[in-house]
């Protein structure tokens, strides 16, 4: 089985030992708390259970996000939201069985010799095309306003210290266009290029099927059947109570949008830009 195919057999075998070409210690880069579970929770849980030691790097604490109606609604727009979402993320990580996590700007995801830094959520607004776009009031510490070289060096440090053998993050459109997701893609892709590591982008929708991708032999997309870890994924989603609710097998987002909880998660291996 080639690295390109990974676990991309037509049946989507639930075999974490074969995922990502069998490479241990894959680093996942996500922009905000809850992204890790929605898009890659089953894969993270499967890798962790198989002893593959995935590292999750979260770039921001979701400071600018909306809050679901209910007991935590008063946190929206306050300084108390970030620490609360950190607590939610810690609970979600525990549900998934992860042992290695870092926020960008904090060791081990901080360049040597620099004091800790916080990269804040850049916020977003919805464009006329239905995709996310940058918020007009992003603060001075927002991720997308940070010196790109500083953030890049922080992520390089995380990958190097973790012994990462591959990197996973969003596609070049950031999934749905959020500026922090786009920034995460660019950082992750640059780190992968610099270290000569394979880079997999998350296929929106949780499966190669329906995206115009062939998940059979020769495909650069591998689809993970994460059904064995579905309950872990659901438990982790429930931990993110300020951002979403779980209704049956659906996620209900803060804006009321419904999304099925994916039982498969797909990733596309992106060719190296430098031909490495």
Contact 53, 99 (CB under 8 A): yes
Query: What does pTM read for this prediction?
Result: 0.88
Please tell me the distance from the alpha carbon of residue 176 to that of residue 65, in angstroms, as a whole number.
15
Helix axis angle, 230-239 to 35-49, nearest 10°:
140
pLDDT reported for residue 206? 63
pLDDT reported for residue 24? 87
Average pLDDT, the chain: 88
Contact 6, 18 (CB under 8 A): yes
* Structure tokens that stand for 157 in this block: 């440090």
pLDDT reported for residue 212? 34
Contact 243, 33 (CB under 8 A): yes
What domains sit in the chain, N to C, each tagged with a CATH number?
A: 23-209+225-265 (3.40.50.10320)
Please tell me the distance from the alpha carbon of residue 90 to that of residue 86, in angstroms, as a whole number.
6
**Torsion angle defined by CA atoms of residues 16, 22, 23 and 24, in that order, rounded to the nearest 10 degrees:** 40
HEC sequence for 220-241: CEEEEECHHHHHHHHHHHHHCC
Q: Who contacts 220 (Cβ-Cβ below 8 Å, separation ≥6)? A: 4, 268, 269, 270, 271
Blockwise average pLDDT, block size 10, the chain, 276 residues = 38 78 95 97 97 96 92 94 97 98 98 96 75 70 92 98 97 84 96 97 70 45 96 98 96 93 97 65
Contact 179, 144 (CB under 8 A): yes
pLDDT reported for residue 266? 97
Please tell me the distance from the alpha carbon of residue 169 to that of residue 28, in angstroms, as a whole number.
6
């Amino acid at each position: 089985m080639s690295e390109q195919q990974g676990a991309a057999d037509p049946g989507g075998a639930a075999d974490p030992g074969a995922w990502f070409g069998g490479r241990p210690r894959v680093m996942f880069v996500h922009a905000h708390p809850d992204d890790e579970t929605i898009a890659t929770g089953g894969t993270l849980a499967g890798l962790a259970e198989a002893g593959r030691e995935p590292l999750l790097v979260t770039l921001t604490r979701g400071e600018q996000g909306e809050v679901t109606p209910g007991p935590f609604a008063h946190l929206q727009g306050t300084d108390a939201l970030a620490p609360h979402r950190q607590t939610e993320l810690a609970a979600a990580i525990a549900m998934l069985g992860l042992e290695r996590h870092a926020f960008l700007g904090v060791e081990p995801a901080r360049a040597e010799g620099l004091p800790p830094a916080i990269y804040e959520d850049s916020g977003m607004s919805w464009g006329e095309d239905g995709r996310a776009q940058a918020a007009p009031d992003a603060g001075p510490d927002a991720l997308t306003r940070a010196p790109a070289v500083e953030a890049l060096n922080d992520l390089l440090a995380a990958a190097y210290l973790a012994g990462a053998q591959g990197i996973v993050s969003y596609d070049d459109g950031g999934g749905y266009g959020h500026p922090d997701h786009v920034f995460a893609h660019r950082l992750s892709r640059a780190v992968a290029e610099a270290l000569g590591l394979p880079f997999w982008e998350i296929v929106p929708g949780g499966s190669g099927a329906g995206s115009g991708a062939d998940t059979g032999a020769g495909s650069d997309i591998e689809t993970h059947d994460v059904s064995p870890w579905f309950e872990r994924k659901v438990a982790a989603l429930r931990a993110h109570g300020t951002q979403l609710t779980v209704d049956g097998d659906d996620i209900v987002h803060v804006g009321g949008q419904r999304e099925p909880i994916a039982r498969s998660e797909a990733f596309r291996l992106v060719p190296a830009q430098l031909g490495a």
